[in-house]
Amino acid sequence: MHNRFLFLVLLLLMPLAHADQAVIKKDDPVLEKRVMDLSAHLRCLVCQNQTIADSNAELAVDLKNQVREKLQQGQSEQEILDYMVKRYGEFVLFSPLVKSTTWLLWFGPLLLLVVGIGVLFVILRQRRKMMQQAPALSTDDHARAASLLSGKRGGEQS
């Protein structure tokens, strides 16, 4: 009796297992290629680290269907991108636009690399200058260092 109840519950829950995957309409392969190409430029608002082309989330599928409908209506790719940005904000673009508010995002890593190389250059130059200014070791100092390295101490002889 208990197994039947469990089976019935699982049977009723099965449709929910695929509830997050909406149906994609695919009629025209050329149109589908355009949809997928354009979808690769749009961020999945649910996943956030995937494009809507890569995502199977319901919202991503809905956005792909919107892209498909707008392409069928004859809108250009730029018009569709502009519509998506107007509706969802610039966050919907997988690669943000290069403008004054995103310069740090685009050029920050390069700036950090240049600053890091500059700091390394300055440190190495200072180190070289310190090495050149270090006093030279006398022959007695060399002999003492050699004896210390070989395990002998000061004036001890074996």
| CATH number belonging to domain 16-97 | 1.10.8.640
**Segments in the chain below pLDDT 70:** 1-27, 152-158
Distance, in Å, from the CA atom of 40 to the CA atom of 33, rounded to the nearest integer, reads 11
- What confidence tens digit (pLDDT) does each residue in 55-67 have? 888 888 998 999 9
Q: According to the model, what pLDDT value does residue 115 have?
A: 96
Q: According to the model, what pLDDT value does residue 14 have?
A: 62
**Domain chopping of the chain, boundaries:** 16-97, 101-150
Q: According to the model, what pLDDT value does residue 59 have?
A: 87
Distance, in Å, from the CA atom of 18 to the CA atom of 72, rounded to the nearest integer, reads 28
Could you give the count of Cα atoms lying within 13 Å of 154 in the half-sphere of its Cβ?
Answer: 1
pTM of the model: 0.49
Q: According to the model, what pLDDT value does residue 21 have?
A: 43
